[in-house]
Amino acid sequence: MAESGGTLRVDGAVVPAGPPGATLLDALRATGNTAPKGACRRGECGACTVLVGDRAVMSCTMLAALVTDEVTTAAGLGEAGADLCAAFADHAAFQCGFCTPGQVVRAEAVLRERVDRSRDEIVREMSGNVCRCTGYRQIVDAVCAVASSRRELR
Ligand code: FES
Ligand code: FES
């Protein structure tokens, strides 16, 4: 269950978990955190993706009251996601940017789990995050570039 008093730990701060029945997405947005986006609101697009612990979840599908681990949004990745943000910019991996916070969070989870990934694996792991603008190739290029650079740093 959420912490006593109905709170969540988000991006290093304690915030309200919202009313009973609130989704994690709605609880986050109610705090003014606009990184996770509400688009489909039924687990189909990935725009609302955040980290719960090290796991990427679609926050529109999760009740805030059930979240016990630290939540990290794209706004809270900080240095951990700086290379991904730079790579998305370098590879022109966004246009309108609506999907980008969710894409970056998903990529961070994928590479935290295992950085030794083929391009095909990265395509598969990123496939739940929809982008209506880029055609995906640039997004995969950016994630592959970061995977490569993180492997070299090990
Ligand atoms: S808004 Fe959550 S998956 Fe689309
Ligand atoms: S950059 Fe517009 S939806 Fe992905």
Question: Quick check: CB of 45 below 6 Å from ligand 2?
Answer: no
87 and 149 co-located in one domain: yes
Q: Which domain holds residue 112?
A: 77-153
User: How do residues 34-82 score in pLDDT, each as one tens digit?
Assistant: 999 999 999 999 999 999 999 999 999 999 999 999 999 999 999 999 9
81 and 144 co-located in one domain: yes
Give CA 1 to chain center in angstroms: 22
User: How do residues 73-131 score in pLDDT, each as one tens digit?
Assistant: 999 999 999 999 999 999 999 999 999 999 999 999 999 999 999 999 999 999 999 99
Question: Quick check: CB of 136 below 6 Å from ligand 2?
Answer: no
53 and 81 co-located in one domain: no
In a domain, residue 44? The reply is: yes
What whole-number distance in Å separates Cα of residue 59 and Cα of residue 50? 6
Which residue out of 40, 133, 143 has the highest number of ligand 2 atoms within 8 Å of its CB and is therefore the one to mutate?
A: 133
83 and 149 co-located in one domain: yes
85 and 65 co-located in one domain: no
Contacts 24+ apart (CB under 8 A), 123-132: 128/46, 128/58, 129/45, 129/46, 129/47, 129/49, 129/99, 129/102, 129/103, 130/44, 130/45, 130/46, 130/47, 130/99, 131/94, 131/99, 131/103, 132/96, 132/99
